[in-house]
Amino acid sequence: MDSLLKKTKPTLLKKGKEIEAKITSITKKGIIFDVGGKAQAILGELEIKEISTYLPYLKEGDTILVRIISEESKNGFPVVSLRKFFDKGKWDILIKKRDSEEEVDVICGEYGKGGVFINFMGIRGVIPKIQLTEPFLSQPEKMRGQKVKVKILEVDKEKNRLVVSQKASVLHISHKDLIKKFEAIKEGKIYKAKVLGASEFGVFCEVEGVEGLIHISEISWEKVSNAASFVTVGETIDVYVVEKNMTDFKLNLSLKRLQKDPWEIIEEKYPKDKEVEGEVTRKEKYGYFVKLESGIEGLIHISKLKGDENLKPGQKIKAFIERVSKKERRMSLVLPATEKPVMYR
């Protein structure tokens, strides 16, 4: 490197100025740049320590933006910084890798709600659980600290968003093929889906090679507190495609829309004053909820109680329909009485 630097003398360069420089020599020990006028410049010592991360993405002959940090070092040559490349260039690298569908190596971190968090050149990203293969799919927490090859699905510098797929790398899945599969799926249609897993906010599925989610609100017309209790990992189920997310090529799916909404005919089926039988499901501070059928619950408001009822979840009771609203999806109930209280009417 010293011999290369001695061949030329640096021209006058102003500290802080950004210029286009051509890489003339590159090694693990440093980089030499042609900064114009047959002048050579070197990379700052602090940045040499981290250059190994970027060496696979730099080559001799590349022209790159550098900033002059010293007009003359102790060796008599200008010193330049690649900090702008380090900050911006890694995003450009990711975009190029995404477009060319090349693999990149990432370091895995902890497993959370969104999936396995990863790091690439200081950028934090995620591998969604659906984008893992076995044995990581069953035990994603064991990926922590491991270096794995992935393909890039989404990259957005403005949103600081990076989503990658370990499955696409292992199975050699083309992102272009994924887009074709995504485009072939139609909203409002029913498809077969493989259950990949469940979380507190829904069920993860795969529909013809495309990622989908059955949100917990779309599992049943009933109130759902545990999504996992409705499905078995590995089973194939019918799902209804509610919406296609064009931003990240994912599907919003539904199970409950495969069944008729019980509230559609609620006012005809449960008219005012009708006597019904139901099961107490839970007690809240404002009253008791009573299940009349799948997806239909009514409330006995605390103001309609005497205070000594002490109803228990699972208890079968009889009640009268006080009011029902299809629009609000609400039903009010009152307990039978020898004489209907004045406030009931």
> Helices (H), strands (E): how many in the chain?
7, 20
Task: Evaluate whether 184-258 and 263-344 have a shared fold.
Answer: yes
Residue with tokens 């006080």: 322
What pLDDT, on the 0 to 100 scale, is given for residue 345? 47
Which residue, 251, 88, 247, is CA-closest to 163? 247
What pLDDT, on the 0 to 100 scale, is given for residue 335? 93
More confident of the two residues 237 and 340: 237
What pLDDT, on the 0 to 100 scale, is given for residue 15? 85
Quick one: 94-170 is in which CATH superfamily? Nucleic acid-binding proteins (2.40.50.140)
Instruction: Report DSSP state, residue 61.
Output: T
Among 2.60.40.10, 3.90.1150.10, 3.40.50.1980, 2.40.50.140, name the CATH number for the domain at 184-258: 2.40.50.140
Which residue, 94, 98, 77, is CA-closest to 25? 77
Contact 294/279 with Cβ under 8 angstroms? Answer: no
What pLDDT, on the 0 to 100 scale, is given for residue 81? 87
| pTM greater than 0.85 | no
More confident of the two residues 303 and 4: 303
Q: Is the pLDDT of residue 2 over 60?
A: no
- 292 token code pair: 């009349």
Across 257-263, average pLDDT: 92
Q: Is the pLDDT of residue 258 over 90?
A: yes
139 exposure class (CB count in 10 Å sphere: 0-12, 13-18, 19+): exposed
Q: Domain residue spans in the chain?
A: 2-11+19-81, 94-170, 184-258, 263-344
User: pLDDT-based confidence at 254, cuts 50/70/90?
Assistant: very high
CA distance 275 to 268: 14
What pLDDT, on the 0 to 100 scale, is given for residue 9? 44
Q: What is the mean pLDDT of the chain?
A: 86
Contact 79/69 with Cβ under 8 angstroms? Answer: yes
Q: Which residues contact 159 (CB under 8 A, 6 or more apart)?
A: none
Q: Is the pLDDT of residue 186 over 90?
A: yes
CA distance 162 to 244: 20
pLDDT digit string (tens) for 113-144? Answer: 778 999 887 789 999 887 888 888 888 999 99
Q: What is the DSSP string of 221-287?
A: SS--S-GGGG--TT-EEEEEEEEEETTTTEEEEESGGGS--GGGGHHHHS-TT-EEEEEEEEEETTE
Across 54-60, average pLDDT: 77
Partners of 279 in the β-ladder: 291, 316
Which residue, 201, 199, 191, is CA-closest to 251? 191
Q: Is the pLDDT of residue 302 over 50?
A: yes
Architecture of domain 2-11+19-81 in this structure: Beta Barrel (2.40)
CA distance 40 to 36: 8
Least confident range from 12-16, 65-69, 85-89, 192-196: namely 85-89
Q: Is the pLDDT of residue 10 over 50?
A: no
What is the CATH code for 263-344?
Answer: 2.40.50.140
What pLDDT, on the 0 to 100 scale, is given for residue 3? 55
Of the spans 64-68, 76-80, 119-123, 273-277, which averages the highest pLDDT? 273-277
Q: Is the pLDDT of residue 341 over 70?
A: no
Q: Which residues contact 136 (CB under 8 A, 6 or more apart)?
A: 116, 142, 143, 166
CA distance 304 to 311: 14
Q: Which helix (H) or strand (E) holds 296?
A: strand 296-301
Q: Is the pLDDT of residue 78 over 60?
A: yes
pLDDT digit string (tens) for 189-214? Answer: 999 999 988 888 899 999 998 889 99
